[in-house]
Amino acid sequence: MSLFTQLTVSLYLMMPPSPPLVIEKTMDFEINGQGTAHEWEQTDWVIIPFRHDNPAAKQTKAKVLYSGKGMYFLFACEDKKITATHTTDFADLFDEDVVEVFLWTDEQHPVYFEYELSPLNYELPLIVPNFSGQFLGWIPWHYEGDRRIKHATHVSGGEKASDAHIQQWTAEFFIPYALLAPLKNVPPQKGTQWRANMYRIDYDSGKFQSWQWQPIEKSFHEYEKFGTFLFN
């Protein structure tokens, strides 16, 4: 990490907490990886800032909605190349291009949900107990039926293939509350607050680069630094 990046991160960490992100409620809808459902018009894009020293960084933005059955996420990621080779779910997707969402539903317990989705549409869902920085995720059991996440990706300007040159990839997914049942404070109601963070990782330059909705210092698992979702 360069000195400029270290100073930038330090300044972000010294800033007061950002206001909660208001999550609007929606009727359930089908996803296709492109975010074309009219329900997405109910909410605005949230810019996910690039946290490194490159003013010409590719843009990343996201939208979030919730329904009576679960949560919807949509990511749009400008990109030049798909750096992804994993072709199975539950792989170490974070070693390549990926988007990630962390949901910490109850601040009384250091246990949260982590979800990763690659441009090739492979997923990694985890429940993570994190005690004083000691953590190891657990994958879901009986991951089927109404407990299974719906997910899709789409690529613009090229093929959906490893090393393909592209212009953008999008990720759209629905996380059912039935999968989050081990966590407290689920499902959310109007006025409920969850702590959360949203990330993107890219390896086009041959090294790790990240976009972080709320800035962290060393690890995506710094849950104390997460932002807040406020359900409307």
Instruction: Count CB atoms within 10 A of the CB of residue 218.
Output: 9
Q: Which residues of 169-208 are buried (b: 16+ CB within 10 A; e: fewer)?
A: bbbbbbbbbebbeebebbbbeeebebbbbbbbbbeeeeee
pTM of the predicted model as reported, rounded to 2 decimal places: 0.91
Confidence of residue 195 (pLDDT cuts 50, 70, 90): very high
Q: Is 38 helix (H, G, I), strand (E, B) or coil?
A: helix
How large is the average pLDDT for residues 126-144?
Answer: 90
pLDDT in tens, 18-63: 899 999 999 999 999 999 999 999 999 999 999 877 766 799 999 9
Structural class in CATH, domain 3-231: mainly beta
What 8-state DSSP symbol labels residue 209?
A: E
| Per-domain residue ranges of the chain | 3-231
Evaluate if residue 12 carries a pLDDT over 60.
no
Residue 59 tokens read as: 């843009």
